[in-house]
Structure formats: structure tokens, C-alpha cells
């Protein structure tokens, strides 16, 4: 249980940063991208990108492989699947609330239409 919680903590901590989420989104679109290519669109220097990659790697969200001088990064989705599974256990709590909110909003809209007539 502790290992599972630790993995979830690492996953959510890694996903909280917008730069890391952007890196993951890019890896989702482009399977296997070099570190230098990943770093290009960001307004931060390569060492900062490397630190973000370290966090993603520690969370198990990416894998890195090196051929010659080129380090290729790939998405490793298993920790995100585990986080999604964890979130889905609680979905029933917010789904019911959202359903009630939709009913309330529809009722208020109908009342507003009646008063305009």
C-alpha cells in the first residue's frame, strides 16, 4: 500500500507542473523524441528541461534511452493509468453533484424564460 501511495504521490507531483505536462503531451503526439527536440519550444535552458525530465523519470512517466550522444525520451503511461484508476473511484461523488448542478441550472433557466414572457 505504501509503495502504491508513493507512486501516486510522485505521479501527481510530476503532473502539477505545466512544463512537465507539456512535455508529456508532446511525447504523446511524437513517440520517441530527443531531449534537444523536446527542449526547443520552451523558454527555459536545457538544464532546466533536464530537471523536469528527471522528475518525470522518477515518477515513471517517461523512459530514456541513449544511442551514441542522443538521448531519446518516450512516454510511459502506466503511472497515469494508476492515477486515473484512483480518480475514477471518486468519480461517483462529483458526478452526482454535477448532475444536480445541471438540473438546477436547467430549472433556473426555465424559470427565467417564464418571467420574460
Task: Report the C-alpha gap between 71 and 60 in whole angstroms.
Answer: 17
List Cα–Cα distances, 104 to 25, 92, 94, 113, 115, in angstroms: 36, 18, 15, 14, 17
Task: Report the C-alpha gap between 49 and 53 in whole angstroms.
Answer: 6
**All domains of the chain in start order, with CATH:** 2-90 (1.10.10.10)
pTM value > 0.85: no
User: In terms of Cα–Cα distance, which of 48, 75, 56, 68 is closest to 16?
Assistant: 56
Handedness of CA 79, 81, 84, 88 (dihedral sign): negative
Q: What is the pLDDT of residue 19?
A: 96
Confidence of residue 4 (pLDDT cuts 50, 70, 90): low
User: In terms of Cα–Cα distance, which of 83, 48, 53 is closest to 66?
Assistant: 53
pLDDT tens by residue, 83-108 = 998 888 877 777 777 777 788 888 88
pLDDT tens by residue, 31-58 = 899 999 999 999 999 999 999 999 999 9
Least confident residue range of 14-18, 65-69, 78-82, 97-101: 97-101
Amino acid at each position: 500500500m505504501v509503495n502504491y501511495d508513493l507512486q501516486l504521490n510522485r505521479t501527481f507531483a510530476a503532473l502539477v507542473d505545466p512544463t512537465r505536462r507539456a512535455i508529456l503531451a508532446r511525447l504523446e503526439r511524437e513517440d520517441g523524441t530527443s531531449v534537444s527536440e523536446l527542449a526547443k519550444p520552451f523558454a527555459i535552458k536545457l538544464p532546466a528541461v533536464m530537471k523536469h525530465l528527471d522528475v518525470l523519470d522518477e515518477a515513471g512517466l517517461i523512459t530514456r534511452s541513449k544511442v551514441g550522444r542522443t538521448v531519446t525520451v518516450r512516454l510511459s503511461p502506466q503511472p497515469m493509468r494508476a492515477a486515473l484508476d484512483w480518480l475514477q473511484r471518486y468519480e461517483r461523488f462529483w458526478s452526482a453533484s454535477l448532475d444536480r448542478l445541471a438540473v438546477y441550472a436547467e430549472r433556473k433557466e426555465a424559470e427565467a424564460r417564464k418571467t420574460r414572457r
